């Protein structure tokens, strides 16, 4: 399998990219508005893949604005750069593709059903690609996405940020028929990084480990200032971990729809978790219960948090930048 990451780096997006580069065959990173501007996200992605020893990974700049919404500013916690707390060397290459949609469609033709997309930001790029070429869904294997929740939100009382930032885009993706895995706040907010995790990472001592520990320390401080809580959820890497160690998660087939019009619920993932057996022989009861619609998503309903952090920390510990950079140098040319 080949993997294309689409996100808004952003601290936790960067950890998602780290896990993916360490364990999976990554053929590209497409960037979108969200945590920060798409220009910041693109620069952060370029610097990060270079720092990870993979300057060969194609980075493609995506949409600067949601399909309909005006852009949201989520610089709280991410700073003006979108990756506050990460002190990285300048990227050795400023080469990025200027059109993420063309790059994404090109990758789908090149890799067909060997390609999976891992989405860790607003879904604007993927929705734009689907609107440009509806046959995209026939070519890619699946989409794993961090977004939504079984109940409750973080951007509003009802909506999680990635969905809330572009609800129309999310509606296009969830209606596309593409097999989906959804990692919502109900599992990602349980993956809260603690000072003990940060200490375990810092003690690894490598340049990468120190940078990651500094990033996570910044995230914890920022979150404490905004939400007055003492841990910081690492949302995005869960959407990658599912491909590395599927046993960490429990997934259930469910129907997920996106609320577009609610005064208080716009951007909410409406997840039908009911266990209906079908119609009853009571006409009045049948009228009282709307039938379930066909499932369109595998929803993560549980996560082994310790196993996730063991995977993340072991991935940092065993990450050999020099070996990865050398192997990449000998690697084949990626998408043009
Ligand atoms: O709600 C969490 C999501 O919003 C994460 O993907 C984070 O990076 C931000 O994009
Ligand atoms: Ca993100």
CA 329 to chain centre: 27
Q: What would the two tokens of residue 196 be?
A: 């003990």
For residue 148, which of 241, 305, 265, 250 has the smallest C-alpha distance? 265
**Which residues have C-beta within 8 Å of that of residue 331, sequence separation ≥ 6?**
56
Cα 51 to ligand 1 centroid, rounded to whole Å: 22
Atom of ligand 1 nearest to the CA of 235: 5
Q: Which of 33, 197, 235, 261 is catalytic?
A: 235
Domain extent for 275: 2-326
Is residue 320 within 8 A of residue 314, CB to CB? The reply is no
Give Dmax over CA atoms of the chain in angstroms.
69
On average, the pLDDT of the chain sits at 91
Report the alpha-carbon distance of residue 285 to residue 293 in Å, rounded: 17
Q: Assess whether 235 carries a catalytic annotation.
A: yes
CATH number at residue 221: 3.90.245.10
HSE, side-chain direction, 13 A CA sphere, residue 11: 29
For residue 273, which of 246, 301, 304, 235 has the smallest C-alpha distance? 301
Say if 335 falls within a structural domain.
no
Mutate to test the pocket of ligand 1, among 32, 86, 156, 161 (most ligand atoms within 8 A of CB): 161
Say if 333 falls within a structural domain.
no
pLDDT tens per residue across span 78-97? 666 667 677 777 777 666 77
Say if 316 falls within a structural domain.
yes
Say if 336 falls within a structural domain.
no
Per-residue pLDDT of the chain (336 residues; tens, 9 = 90+): 999 999 999 999 999 999 999 999 999 999 999 999 999 999 999 999 999 999 999 999 999 999 998 877 665 556 666 676 777 777 776 667 789 999 999 999 999 899 999 999 999 999 999 999 999 999 999 999 999 999 999 999 999 999 999 999 999 999 999 999 999 999 999 999 999 999 999 999 999 999 999 999 988 888 777 776 677 899 999 999 999 999 999 999 999 999 999 999 999 999 998 877 767 788 887 788 888 889 999 999 999 999 999 999 999 999 999 999 999 885 444 443
Look at residue 243 and give its three-state secondary structure: helix
Is residue 55 within 8 A of residue 115, CB to CB? The reply is no
Atom of ligand 1 nearest to the CA of 9: 8
Look at the chain and report how many structural domains it folds into. 1
Residue ID of nearest Cα to ligand 1 atom 10:
121
Q: Assign residue 112 a region: left if phi > 0, alpha if psi is -120 to 50, beta otherwise?
A: left
pTM metric for this prediction:
0.94
Report the alpha-carbon distance of residue 170 to residue 151 in Å, rounded: 16
Q: What are phi and psi of 234, to 5 degrees?
A: -100, 85
Is residue 105 within 8 A of residue 43, CB to CB? The reply is no
Ligand nearest to the CA of 146: 1
Mutate to test the pocket of ligand 1, among 7, 11, 13 (most ligand atoms within 8 A of CB): 13
**Number of C-beta neighbours around residue 111 at 10 A:** 20
pLDDT tens per residue across span 97-119? 789 999 999 999 999 899 999 99
- Residues touching ligand 1 (Cβ under 6 Å) are 8, 10, 12-13, 34-35, 120-121, 146, 154, 160-162, 235-236
* pLDDT score of 281: 83
């Amino acid at each position: 399998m080949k993997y294309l990451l689409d996100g808004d780096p952003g601290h936790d997006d960067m950890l998602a990219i780290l896990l993916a580069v360490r364990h999976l065959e990554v053929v590209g990173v497409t960037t979108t508005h969200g945590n920060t501007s798409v220009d910041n996200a693109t620069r952060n992605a370029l610097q990060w893949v270079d720092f990870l020893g993979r300057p060969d990974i194609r980075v493609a700049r995506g949409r600067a604005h949601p399909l309909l919404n005006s852009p949201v500013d989520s610089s709280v916690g991410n700073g003006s750069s979108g990756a506050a707390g990460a002190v990285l060397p300048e990227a050795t290459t400023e080469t990025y593709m200027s059109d993420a949609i063309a790059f994404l469609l090109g990758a789908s033709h090149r890799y067909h059903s060997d390609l999976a997309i891992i989405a860790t930001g607003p879904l604007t790029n993927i929705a734009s690609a689907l609107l440009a070429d509806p046959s995209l869904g026939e070519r890619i294997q699946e989409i794993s996405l961090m977004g939504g929740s079984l109940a409750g939100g973080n951007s509003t009382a009802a909506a999680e940020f990635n969905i809330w930032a572009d609800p129309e885009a999310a509606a296009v993706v969830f209606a596309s028929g593409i097999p989906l895995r959804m990692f919502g706040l109900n599992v990602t907010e349980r993956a809260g990084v603690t000072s003990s995790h940060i200490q375990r990472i810092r003690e690894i001592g490598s340049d990468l480990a120190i940078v990651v520990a500094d990033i996570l320390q910044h995230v914890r401080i920022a979150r404490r200032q905004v939400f007055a809580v003492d841990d910081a959820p690492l949302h995005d890497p869960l959407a990658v971990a599912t491909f590395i160690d599927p046993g960490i998660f429990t997934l259930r087939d469910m129907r997920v729809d996106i609320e577009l019009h609610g005064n208080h619920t716009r951007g909410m993932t409406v997840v039908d978790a009911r266990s209906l057996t079908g119609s009853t022989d009571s006409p009045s009861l049948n009228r009282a219960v709307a039938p379930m619609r066909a499932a369109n998503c595998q929803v993560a309903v549980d996560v082994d948090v310790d196993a996730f952090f063991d995977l993340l920390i072991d991935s940092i510990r065993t990450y050999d930048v020099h070996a990865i950079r050398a192997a990449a140098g000998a690697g084949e040319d990626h998408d043009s």
